[in-house]
Amino acid sequence: MDGYSFQSVQTTRVQSGAVLHLNELLAERGLSRPLFVTDAQLIKLDVVSPAIDALQLSADTVVVFDGIEPDPSERVVFACLEAFRAGDCDSVIAVGGGSSMDVAKVVSVLARGQQDLSEIYGVGMVSGDRLPLFLAPTTAGTGSEVTPVAIITTGETTKAGVSSPVLLPDVAILDASLTLGLPASISAMTGIDAMVHAIEAYTSKIKKNPISDMLALRALKLLSENIRTVLATPGDVAAREAMLLGSMFAGQAFANAPVGAVHALAYPVGGHYHIPHGLSNSLMLPAVLSFNAEACPELYAELARVIPGATQSSEGLIDWFKVLIDESGLPATLAQAKIPETDLPMLAKDAMFQQRLLINNPREVDEATALRLYREAWSGWS
């Protein structure tokens, strides 16, 4: 190894009910006019309303933007930015899923007025700074609260990323109370998503490093030990907090040792059929794990060792996830997800646009290989 670097958020606060004290974090920094970014469903379910109410007791103004959608488009980004400017806000808070946090990251940069959105797409393209930013996830999955990346939908089926350390927030808040009302399907999808982050970081071909390795192993242990508990007992606060912590560790790991073919092949599935990101990853995971096992059997065995009940081998890792996916009630194959078999060549072609991810995979994936993997994911395992 020629050397490596590691970056993450400066401050993390882990406490059930922590979002009720956002006003304290603002006051410490002389802030009083936050933009609160979330989605309408979380307000309807009363998940984020207590946090908004608590803020309004002491802030001068609280501007709430609840127009976040899954796979947020540039239109959503610009609408959120307009809400920020109209309210003369001085900071950005996001309490929600990865979509809310991604939009908040981008808006915190654009609100400075130093660059347009088109200028910051890519790696290291943010040249200025951002406004104060606070992120609190409502799912244990994306790890977006500790990653320097935001993904924005740019067309019908296309997405682009903004990747810069500037996007790391001032404070990441892990509040298990925000996740207690999650449906089992969401807990399963996001939990598997987080575990994929850990696996792909641990096997990342180019930037794998000891710090990310340590975090990935700890993440996978926490997530695998607790995911069945949150599915069976959704009100278990300790298990929910462990899932959030595992998701954050996985986010820190893959933010520095990037993900590979599972994500690269999942993105076209999500883009074309608007399937949630965690489910797209779950659908592709067994096929890609089986393909990669030839290149990194020792690494897969090391990962399997931290999973309760898994045989300590590549096969044990793969089989454990097959059982989990089956038990979770999620679609197990692309066919079950209603994806036409005739579309698989199109997906394979589109996956080739994800070279920034494919270069991190333990084995090379060309278009023919991608098509083979899609076919395996379509038909499933015996």
Distance CA 306, CA 293 (A): 17
Cα atoms in the 13 Å half-sphere on the side-chain side of 274: 7
Residue 128 contacts residue 109 (beta carbons within 8 Å): yes
CA distance 95 to 232: 25
- 182-379 classified as CATH 1.20.1090.10: yes
Q: Identify the pLDDT of residue 1.
A: 55
Q: Quote the longest CA-to-CA distance of the chain.
A: 60
The domain segmentation of the chain, as residue ranges, is 11-178, 182-379
pLDDT at 357: 93
Instruction: Enumerate residues 6+ apart whose C-beta is below 8 A from 236.
Output: 229, 230
**pLDDT at residue 2 in the model:** 72
In sign, the C-alpha dihedral spanning 234, 239, 241, 245 is: negative
* CA nearest neighbour of 331 among 157, 197, 188: 188
| pLDDT score at 381 | 66
Nearest to 365 by CA among 251, 160, 205: 205
Cα–Cα distance for residue pair 14/140, rounded to 1 Å: 13
- H and E: helices and strands count for the chain: 16, 9
CA distance 104 to 84: 10
Give me the pLDDT at residue 181, please: 82
Series of mean pLDDT values for 10-residue runs along the chain (382 residues)? 84 96 95 97 93 94 95 95 97 96 98 94 92 97 94 84 95 96 92 98 96 98 97 95 97 96 95 91 97 96 96 95 94 96 97 93 98 96 59
The residue whose two tokens read 């001068």 is: 60
* Paired residues of 325 in beta bridges: none
- Looking at residue 197, its amino acid is H
pTM summary value: 0.94
Q: Are 201 and 254 in contact (CB under 8 A)?
A: yes
Q: Tell me, which fold does domain 11-178 have in CATH?
A: Rossmann fold (3.40.50)
